[in-house]
Structure 1
Amino acid sequence: MSKIIDLSKTIQYNSDDPFFMKVKIKHKSHKKAKWLVRFLGLPFRLFPKKFTGWADDEIRKMGVHSTTHIDAPWHYAPTCMGKRAKTIDEVPLEWCFGEGIVIDMTHKKDFDSITSKDIKGFLQKEKLSLAPEMIVLIKTGRDQLMGTKDFFYKGTGMSAEATEWIIKQGIKVMGIDQWGWDLPLPYLIKKAKKSNNSELFWEAHLVGVDYEYCHMWKGRT
């Protein structure tokens, strides 16, 4: 019997996300639903005796980046490899299931990029190898920060060259257990401004302009 393990980040941790990514949900009571049915034309006298109304929820605001999600090629740029990039509904389902491998990078310190040397070193040490169509998950241990303000501000992150190397092994989908695929967003902005380097920001994401791939983030490994 197969065992299913949920690795997703639940909405309960959303309170510590940046303001533009917060989820807003309005809970509706059973009583309010009864009035809705009355408004639709059913007299109260015809309500079933056991009918108290139904509890319901209304999602008033929710960006796809609020919880665990997968970034389609279209997310990185409108074109990929010189052609129109795939939107999420165009990503082949076959990309999204298959054999997986977890690469342990928990030793990497905050703001220290994960390199292809790091990836190759782990694979060699563990006597493992990547195969085309595998799903590669990067374990940083930063999922332990979910529910704290540090989740947005701390973490390691994939370098562009490490991302490109994994893609060239025939990998289409990869994921990470921290807030983002790259180094932390506030850190990248601060460092780019300080160094005046326009190529520094979002370097791993932008590999998706030249190579077709998807990555997942805000999950668990």
Structure 2
Amino acid sequence: MKKRKIIDLSKAIRENKRDPWFMRVKIKHKKHRQARWLIRLLGLPFRLFPKNFEGWADDYISMGVHSVTHIDAPWHYSPTCGGQRAKTIDEIDLGDCIGPGLVIDMSHKADFDPITEADIRAFLEREHLVLEEGMIVLIRTGADKYNGEPDFHQRGTGMSAEATHFLIDQGIKVMGIDAWGWDTPLPDQIRRAKKGRDRNIFWEAHLVGQEKEYWHMEQLVNLDALPYSGFELAVFPLKIEGASAAPARVVAFLEE
């Protein structure tokens, strides 16, 4: 078996007081000795504890499913997809969660400048890359350098509706980005929608999922550690029944 290098594309789940309230994670660590009292209350005297038994550590976590590196289900975008009930995260086909990866580098794009189909086509042509059905496509914007900062959700670029349609039409069902969201930053969407009185601007890339089924990841990290192609990707969300998304451990495998 060939030895493979592993690149972790998921950020750590941790408490960070600098995160805005809608990304806040709370973790309570329970120390070993606290568990000793639970066992004692269940009837085992301290004198019968194993000699080296300190009790067990335990942890409690509270957060939203979109707070960290995660994958959104079609149910997040709309209750229906193509006229049928949209799928929740536990209904994802795990066969779509493993496949050859491809990075599309859009790190040159200015903040709030949406990624277009023309941008993606130009990159693929310049780098002599071809999209193939079943690939997992990762959009590198460089916004992950702001991850953990209070204005992370206000920085970077994002996908347009036409670019999202283009990827889906090439047979791409799973895709992801290293920015806070798949669209341009939320404050920018609101500003542009109000300025142009155009209701089609808000969440335009997400809402492609009303017509075509696709799954996208947000808040990826370390995409700059990957080549543009030649690696395998695994994306496994937590199996949360009926949920709109789930935290995911996203890992790339490179042959050494």
TM-score (ref. length: structure 2)? 0.82
1:13 is displaced (CA, Å) by 6.9
After TM superposition, the structure 1 = structure 2 runs for residues 125-164 of structure 1, keeping only pairs within 5 Å, are 125-164=126-165
The secondary structure found in structure 2 opposite 1:11 is: coil
Whole-angstrom distance in 2 between the partners of 1:28 and 1:13: 15
The answer to whether the Cα contact below 8 Å between 2:15 and 2:25 also exists between their aligned partners in 1 is no
After TM superposition, the structure 1 = structure 2 runs for residues 59-208 of structure 1, keeping only pairs within 5 Å, are 59=61, 61-208=62-209
The secondary structure found in structure 2 opposite 1:180 is: coil
- Note the alpha carbon deviations across 1:9-38, whole angstroms, 9 max, x for none: 212374433212311111111221111111
Name the aligned partner's letter for residue 107 of structure 2: T
The corresponding residue for 2:46 is 44
The secondary structure found in structure 1 opposite 2:33 is: helix
The answer to whether the Cα contact below 8 Å between 2:15 and 2:27 also exists between their aligned partners in 1 is no
> What RMSD over aligned residues (CA atoms) do the two structures have, in Å?
1.3
The answer to whether the Cα contact below 8 Å between 2:14 and 2:25 also exists between their aligned partners in 1 is no
Which runs of 4 or more aligned residues in structure 1 lie more than 3 Å from their structure 2 counterparts after TM superposition? 12-16
Aligned residues: 220
1:84 is displaced (CA, Å) by 1.0
Whole-angstrom distance in 2 between the partners of 1:88 and 1:77: 13
Whole-angstrom distance in 2 between the partners of 1:19 and 1:121: 38
Higher relative contact order (CA 8 A, sep 6+): 2
Name the aligned partner's letter for residue 91 of structure 1: I
The answer to whether the Cα contact below 8 Å between 2:132 and 2:170 also exists between their aligned partners in 1 is yes
1:162 is displaced (CA, Å) by 0.5
Unaligned runs of 5+ in 2: 224-256
- Note the alpha carbon deviations across 1:174-197, whole angstroms, 9 max, x for none: 100111100011222233233332
Name the aligned partner's letter for residue 157 of structure 1: G
Structure in which a larger fraction of residues adopt strand: 2
The corresponding residue for 1:32 is 34
The answer to whether the Cα contact below 8 Å between 2:27 and 2:59 also exists between their aligned partners in 1 is yes
Name the aligned partner's letter for residue 25 of structure 1: I
The corresponding residue for 2:232 is none
Name the aligned partner's letter for residue 8 of structure 2: D
Name the aligned partner's letter for residue 148 of structure 2: G
TM-score (ref. length: structure 1)? 0.95
Whole-angstrom distance in 2 between the partners of 1:22 and 1:14: 7
Relative distance call for 1:35 and 1:128 in structure 2 (3 A) is same
Sequence identity (%): 64
The answer to whether 1:12 aligns with 2:14 is yes
Name the aligned partner's letter for residue 186 of structure 2: L
